[in-house]
Amino acid sequence: MPTKKLSLGQLARVEGEGTLELALRDGRVETARLRIFEPPRFFEALLRGRAFSEVPDIVARICGICPVAYQMSSVHALERALGLSVGGELRLLRRLLYCGEWIESHVLHIVMLHAPDFLGYADAVAMARDHGSEVRRGLALKRTGNEILRLLGGREIHPVNVKVGGFYRLPTRAELDALRELLEGARREAVALLRWVARFPMPDYERDYEFVALRHPSEYPMNEGRIVSSSGLSLSPEEFDAEFEERQLPHSTALYCALRRRGSYLVGPLARYNLNFDRLPPYVQSLAEEAGLRSACRNPFQSIVVRAVEVVFACEEAFHLLAAYEPPEGPSIPLSPSPGEGHACTEAPRGMLYHSYRLDRDGTIEKARIVPPTSQNQASIEEDLRLLAESLLGEPEEILCGRCEQAIRNYDPCISCSTHFLRLAIRRS
């Protein structure tokens, strides 16, 4: 039977360029493809020959929305290659910096990009006409996240203060005190944000994903942990290649990352939450339950609620980290170049981010590998879209397409990272 091609315009409110193509035949969805045509920028190639000390500044440029994630994965991998470990108060400051990025990135996505789908607006500006106080509250929360980034990083986009071994300069007591006041307000506002999104109408859809996230002995994961999955996987970042592989497909400039033996899996807030619910403080757990979540959540549309839970957590965590902080002796620990190889995973707002580097004797990068969260989720996004579209085939096209776009945004995909605007095209037989 011939197929009819239907173009449904551009999917917006995502970070990047691509299209979604659905091919429908005999009442079934034949294929669902997320075509990514973000122009490749070849970071892994351009890092070769650079000094290890330049890496955190360079990899930040992979993504303007989560530069700290790239900086954190890189410094941890490079420190392992150099045989050193950054602990104590410097480790605390790194976790505080990451809280800033989680707050800024999550609130941007929840309020500016995703909420309009649930409430039926084209964008946050239109939504602000009817939900002005919620949008303003979102912008204020996002500003708090950005203030953390500005203080510890120097600026919110492409921070300048992160280095292998620690920081260039430590924050002063007065600077931290100002932050503490802001965070007190943010803790209340984050709870209000969670209660707001908990009331959104939720599409009824569940899938049995294999969740993959870091797991730390005592903390909700950010910079450290073993890679674990809901199917029993447990490995160190050094063993990443043994279980995961990257594949290139003709329709995408992003590489697909899959589990060698099982295929697609899911990283991100939903995976972190499902695998680490017991690592959330009891106060955050009870707020999550009050918001209608249980310790297990398999509805990807509820990721917006989980993201809000993580905003509550990040504000709490940042507040307590600040209270516990005692200035260390120096802003960084001394190091000297040496040959070696290092691997690290950290939890970017969108999910686990893997980096590995090999250094030569004078600390020059011989080899770099980066596996961003969106390329890990790509196969899962396509499976969601196929199943979802199939369940909605009887609905008008407008509903089908709207729901597909919303489903893509469940992943907060960052296509700049993975290789960037989605356009939706449907071919019908």
Partner 1 sequence: MPTSPRPRLAVWKFASCDGCQLSFLDCEDELLSLAGEVEIGYFLEASGRTLPGPYDLSLVEGSITTPEDTQRIREVRRLSKRLVTIGACATAGGIQALRNFARIEDFVSSVYASPEYIQTLERSTPIAAHVPVDFELRGCPIHPLQLLEVISAFLAGRSPAIPTYSVCIECKRAGNPCVLVSRGVACLGPVTQAGCGAICPGYARGCYGCYGPMESPNTPSLARAWRALGSSRRDLLRAFRTFNAGAEAFRRESEANAD
- Binds partner 1 (CB under 8 A): choice among 318, 416, 418, 426: 416
Q: How far is the CB of 41 from partner 1 (least distance, A)?
A: 4
For residue 227, the surrounding DSSP H or E stretch is strand 226-229
CA distance 315 to 233: 30
Q: Is 109 annotated as a binding residue?
A: no
**19 three-class SS:** strand
Q: Is 420 annotated as a binding residue?
A: yes
Give the closest residue to 103 by CA, choosing from 141, 67, 129, 130.
141
Q: How far is the CB of 1 from partner 1 (least distance, A)?
A: 29
Sequence-distant (≥ 6) Cβ neighbours of residue 35 within 8 angstroms: 18, 19, 20, 21, 251, 252
48 contributes a contact to partner 1 by CB under 8 A: yes
10 contributes a contact to partner 1 by CB under 8 A: yes
Spell 89-117 as b/e; 16+ CB within 10 A means b.
bbebbbbbbbbbbbbbbbbbbbbbbbbbb
Q: How far is the CB of 318 from partner 1 (least distance, A)?
A: 18
Q: Are strands 18-25 and 422-428 parallel, antiparallel or unpaired?
A: parallel
CA distance 250 to 396: 31
**32 three-class SS:** strand
Q: Is 66 annotated as a binding residue?
A: yes
CA distance 324 to 315: 14
Task: Point out which span in 79-87, 159-167, 269-277, 346-354 binds partner 1 (CB under 8 A).
Answer: 159-167
Task: Point out which span in 21-29, 128-136, 203-211, 346-354 binds partner 1 (CB under 8 A).
Answer: 128-136
Structure tokens at 345: 């995973």
Which x/- pattern, by CB under 8 A, does the window 70-109 give for partner 1?
A: --------------------------------------x-
63 contributes a contact to partner 1 by CB under 8 A: yes
126 contributes a contact to partner 1 by CB under 8 A: yes
DSSP notation for 315-377: HHHHHHHHHH----SSSB-------EEEEEEEEETTEEEEEEEEE-TTSBEEEEEEE-HHHHH
16 contributes a contact to partner 1 by CB under 8 A: yes
> Which residue's structure tokens are 């296509």?
415
Task: Point out which span in 51-59, 198-206, 317-325, 389-397 binds partner 1 (CB under 8 A).
Answer: 51-59
CA distance 370 to 65: 17
337 contributes a contact to partner 1 by CB under 8 A: no
Structure tokens at 72: 């954190």
358 contributes a contact to partner 1 by CB under 8 A: no
- Binds partner 1 (CB under 8 A): choice among 58, 92, 192, 425: 58
81 vs 128 by CB, closer to partner 1: 128
Q: How far is the CB of 51 from partner 1 (least distance, A)?
A: 6
Q: How far is the CB of 169 from partner 1 (least distance, A)?
A: 4
> Is 332 within 8 Å of 166 (Cβ atoms)?
yes
Binding-site residues for Ni(2+), in ranges, read: 63, 66, 414
Site residues (vs partner 1, CB under 8 A): 9-17, 38-46, 48, 50-51, 54, 57-58, 61-65, 67, 108, 112-113, 122-126, 128, 135-136, 139-140, 142-143, 146, 154-158, 160-161, 163, 168-169, 248, 250, 253, 255, 331, 405, 414, 416, 420-421
